[in-house]
Amino acid sequence: MEIVLNNGMKIPALGIGTYRVKPDDCERTVTAALKAGYRLVDTANVYLNERAVGRALKASGVPRGEVIVTSKLWPTDYKEAKAEKAIDATLARLGIDYIDLLLLHQEYGDGESAWKAMERAVDSGKVRALGVSNFGPPRLTAFLKACRIKPVVNQVECHPYFQETALRTLMDEHGIKLESWFPLGSGNRGLLQEPILAAMAEKYHKSTVQIVIRWHLQEGFIVIPGTKSPDHARENLNVFDFELTDEEMDGIRKLDKNTPFFRPFVPLHRFQCMHVPIPFDRQK
């Protein structure tokens, strides 16, 4: 299943996330995921596992042109000149000639300045598409006024307990796709044991995890569940042989509590995003 982005690029609707996955686990899991059929891999400068993703790309034997590789710039590199250097450093760590999708990781800082460097990277062929991550409606609205190249995605926390309905309305107006991180609510037991999900899992002979992933796909989201387990990665991919009914989709929509599990939008996090140096180039 593929989704067409607003620049015409096609992207798999289901990928493998690497947030909080250590380099050794990351290399092993991403290699196995690519061999199992994944063609979308999501990493970031701040995850400190880009080199591991690069090694996995080579070890998998999958042709580079078949894999969509995503990474993200951290706010410490949001000034135009710093962003230009950060893009080259990201390419070097990944060991590839181009990045398919490059995102601004947080809404804080001078993202407009960094975006100019990112747009030039698209012009030069270093990057194929641009996006943002963790941009709420006010910041996204202001940001779009300064863009020559429009974001193709906004990667945000999204799951049945936090469905981002207001943000989705704004994004739909601009043809920006939602990409779900924490799509399983960070494995929240309460969510994954919801009776309505358990009933669907029994009906379709699936796990509640697979039911939630299927819900994301049918909502039209790009979904990137993270795992350090190759077995879990393979199980997450096994969601294309059934389809939820309209009534079942509506039932899951009613679980929305408008409550995120991760809260990046606080003053301390904003300060850390913008000012604390992170040793990106010391990763294994």
So which residues are the catalytic ones? 47
CA distance linking residue 1 with residue 14, whole number of Å: 8
Q: What Å distances lie between residue 74 and 93, 134, 245, 277, CA to CA? A: 15, 12, 40, 10
Which burial class, exposed, middle or buried, applies to 169 when counting CB atoms under 10 A from its CB (0-12, 13-18, 19+)?
exposed
3-class DSSP state of 58: helix
Question: Pick from 73, 59, 123: which is nearest to 103 by CA?
Answer: 73
With tokens 């941009």, the residue in question is: 135
Please, how many CA atoms are within 13 Å of residue 134, restricted to the half-sphere of its CB?
A: 21
Residue 199 sits at the vertex; the CA angle it makes with 193 and 202, to the nearest 5 degrees, is 105
